Amino acid sequence: MKLLYQTHSPYARKVLVFLHEAGLADRVAVAHHETSPTNANEEVFAHNPLGKVPVLLRPGLAPVFDSDVICSYLDTLHGRPPLIPPTGEARWRALELQAVAQGLAEAGIAVRWESVRRPEHLRYPPLRAGHEKKLVESYRWLDQMIARARDVDVGQIALATALDWLEFRDLPSFRDCPRLSAWFDEFAGRPSMRATPLSGDTHD
């Protein structure tokens, strides 16, 4: 299999960390593909009509895209305990945590558009402030919730990679939230995180 990836994408990073946690990293080749809404990558579009990474290419089978879907697929390929709990409250908590993590990344991307990526005369400060509020409120919620985390699951992977990306891009910080900050620092020390560092800049 081959993963179309981007070294500075929180979504692609989530899949790569998932691969390591599932013991599947040696079964997937990783290829960086630069793409953005204003700098389309035709190879990515050939496999995903949204033109986004990550995309998982499977020999003889259709591509799988969107990080949530790819992780769900990968969770069927290994013999370890599932990283997406199959039933009960553990499942809903993991998926809820994943949803918040995805929202953090989306809000962070929106803040970047309104601060560094969009031409200055087109930026809209109230919109930036609205997305920054999503970040701050999510950090506060997570600071209360994160103590409930149990075994590593897809929600924690999504959260750790989103928080690491937010720091990588110097976006509003979660470091005023002590429990969340401590949890992140511990998770960031995992081999799966150390093996998959973020790097590079967006090319619009």
Please report, for the chain, the start and end positions of each structural domain, with discontinuous segments joined by +.
Answer: 2-74, 88-190
pLDDT in tens, 82-137: 999 999 999 999 999 999 999 999 999 999 999 999 999 999 999 999 999 999 99
Q: How distant, in Å, are the alpha carbons of 9, 116, 162, 179 from that of 158?
A: 12, 24, 6, 17
User: Does 73 have pLDDT greater than 60?
Assistant: yes
User: Does 148 have pLDDT greater than 70?
Assistant: no
The pairing of beta strand 55-58 with beta strand 29-32: unpaired
CA angle 42, 56, 138 (to 5 degrees): 95
Nearest alpha carbon to residue 83 among 157, 12, 146, 193: 157
Q: What is the pTM of this model?
A: 0.95
Q: Are 149 and 156 contacting, i.e. CB atoms less than 8 angstroms apart?
A: yes
Among 3.30.365.10, 3.30.70.260, 3.40.30.10, 1.10.1370.20, name the CATH number for the domain at 2-74. Answer: 3.40.30.10
Q: Tell whether domain 88-190 is in CATH 3.40.50.620.
A: no
The residue type at 148:
R
User: Does 196 have pLDDT greater than 60?
Assistant: yes
